[in-house]
Structure 1
């Protein structure tokens, strides 16, 4: 009976070790993907992807209307 108990414990330990390895690999992969998204975000901000191209032309138009009312 002792042999069967140690075999069961050994099998459980192997399964636990395999699951922990999978968890560690998954965590490392997810951190790598998150770092890639962070780099892409920083790159797009520096490249001007989020600059407002619509408001400045409209602001010029509204400024002219305000200047005409002030005169």
Structure 2
């Protein structure tokens, strides 16, 4: 796996034709899995994560269910306290 397989959030959103909010929802719903579809490359002490996304794997995940492309029409689940 080469470094170029992993792209920034902006690039993945542009390539997949989805918004960053939709991408976060796919991640939060665990449709895109940590260390397979995405990873956090920030240092452990960093205040904010720095994500990289595996373009081919994300494309494949969204091809399985075409409804995942574009916006999900259901409201987001409320976050647990």
- TM-score strictly above 0.5: no
TM-score between the two structures when normalised by the length of structure 2: 0.21
- Bigger strand share: 2
TM-score between the two structures when normalised by the length of structure 1: 0.23
Structure exhibiting the larger radius of gyration computed from Cα positions: 1
Q: Which structure is richer in relative contact order (CA contacts within 8 A, separation 6 or more)?
A: 2
- Bigger helix share: 1
